[in-house]
Structure 1
Amino acid sequence: MAECFLTRRGLMAMLATIGLPAKAPAAPQNGLAAAAHGVDPVLVARALDALARHNAAIWSRDVIAIADFGRPSAMPRLHLIDILTGTTTSLRVAHGKGSDPDHSGMLHSFSDVEGSAATSEGAYLTAELYTGVHGLSRRLIGLDPSDAHAEERAIVIHSAWYAGEDVAIRQGKLGRSDGCFAVSPADIALVLSMLGQGRLLYAGRA
């Protein structure tokens, strides 16, 4: 079944128009804290806060993703937290060139400025799949002021050779994206299937 296209502006207009009832957040939030094995508790708390603030926008809470950009890029730091099974899968993810201009392997700053090629901090809603220059990818809608230009900047989840394990082993760090969440070609199918449309991706650092 094809997934529908939904922009941030369209999402907010739809929610305001139809007045979706608030979902009860208690069960998924309790599940997130219990299932987030090895994830920085500061970021877990921020993700919980994002779930509460964007309650009406996030309609699927079985899997929640947290990108911990306080870790070096060579380490697995994209955490896919499965609430139903109580397990966490951690994978490597690249950050933007503008967030690490010296290519140290560490993110130094966030930015949502168009043309910055930087990673943006904040809560994202996963949107539809599409096929682009990097193959099958998933669009993202920025939900916070700190990532509100995600659509204009074409910030998405996609695969890239420079995010592979072999690159991390060879040079001790991943390559850099233009601000997108770039994962290994070996991991993209898993990421796209686990993190389907309508779910929360929170990006930050403690």
Structure 2
Amino acid sequence: MLGAGGVAGLMVATAANGQSLAQIVAGLKDGNAPVAPRKAAAAAVPARPRVLVDPAIDPRLLARARAAFDANRKRIRNTELVAITDFSMPSREHRFFILETNTGKVTSHYVAHGRGSDPDHSGYLERFSNAYGSNATSAGAYLTGDYYYGKYGRSMKLKGLEDRNNNAEGRAIVVHSAWYAEPEVIRDHGKLGRSEGCFAFSYASLQDVLRRLGPGHLIYADKLA
């Protein structure tokens, strides 16, 4: 169980105050202690996940994720980690963030979106859909479920917690790996391939995601524009 210094206290950023994640964490731990300047993001395309102290998670998205956490608190068994996906970003960028709620440390991964959300394959998610047969990504809060073995090997089920993603189970929207989500696809094509609405990762990233985000965690997905 988290206290005031947990996720509810951590995810208080708003567009108005403009605080970075590092500033929020520093304020929680040290009473608004000074924060080191942010480092520029590396230009290379790494095969491994990036571990960041102060990632570029938009504060407005943090606020939405906090609201989703608060609304579903009784259903979220594991609160030490929260995942936030910023689908405002293109698929060539790390946009799936795993946030350690007690420390503020973040690991980021590439993740593919559904082809129904990007029909022209621009690399940008254009729209969400919760409809059957849409092959689109759905926005909103998800609860991670059981592991299973399927078409793409070891995978993880998801349950949609909102009206805009409550067909996730029926649509078989899950977390899995895929060849089209490997970093080499970005190197060769400048973007990832597309899923049928699932959160698709590289094989290496999936191992980290499944190891850390077991059943009972929150994944929040949205875009800002």
Same fold (TM > 0.5):
yes
What stretches of structure 1 of length at least 5 have no aligned partner? Answer: 1-22
Equivalent position of 2:79 in the other structure? 61
How far the C-alpha of 1:24 sits from its partner, in A, is 6.7
Does residue 46 in structure 1 map to residue 64 in structure 2? Answer: yes
Deviation track 1:18-58 (CA, whole Å, cap 9, x = no partner) reads: xxxxx777432223454673211111101100011111111
Deviation track 1:57-98 (CA, whole Å, cap 9, x = no partner) reads: 111110100111000001000001112332001100000000
* SS at structure 1 position matched to 2:60: helix
Which residue among 173, 190, 197 is the counterpart of 1:179?
Answer: 197
Equivalent position of 1:166 in the other structure? 184
Q: Distance in 2 between matches of 1:76 and 1:61?
A: 22
Does residue 122 in structure 1 map to residue 140 in structure 2? Answer: yes
Return the TM-score normalized by structure 2: 0.78
Equivalent position of 2:120 in the other structure? 102
1:95–1:180 Cα contact (<8 Å) kept = yes
Equivalent position of 2:7 in the other structure? 28
1:157–1:182 Cα contact (<8 Å) kept = yes
User: Between Structure 1 and Structure 2, which shows a larger proportion of helix residues?
Assistant: 1
Return the TM-score normalized by structure 1: 0.85
* SS at structure 2 position matched to 1:186: helix
Query: What RMSD, in angstroms, separates the aligned Cα atoms of the two structures?
Result: 1.5
- Count the aligned residue pairs: 184
Q: Distance in 1 between matches of 2:153 and 2:2?
A: 36
The one-letter amino acid paired with 1:31 is L
1:25–1:55 Cα contact (<8 Å) kept = no
The one-letter amino acid paired with 2:10 is G
Q: Distance in 1 between matches of 2:97 and 2:171?
A: 23
Which residue among 143, 157, 163 is the counterpart of 1:145?
Answer: 163
Equivalent position of 1:89 in the other structure? 107
Distance 1:125 1:37, change over 3 A: same
Q: Distance in 2 between matches of 1:24 and 1:134?
A: 35
The one-letter amino acid paired with 2:9 is N
Q: Distance in 2 between matches of 1:88 and 1:168?
A: 22
1:78–1:93 Cα contact (<8 Å) kept = yes
The sequence identity of aligned pairs, in percent, is 46
Q: Distance in 2 between matches of 1:190 and 1:140?
A: 17
1:32–1:81 Cα contact (<8 Å) kept = no
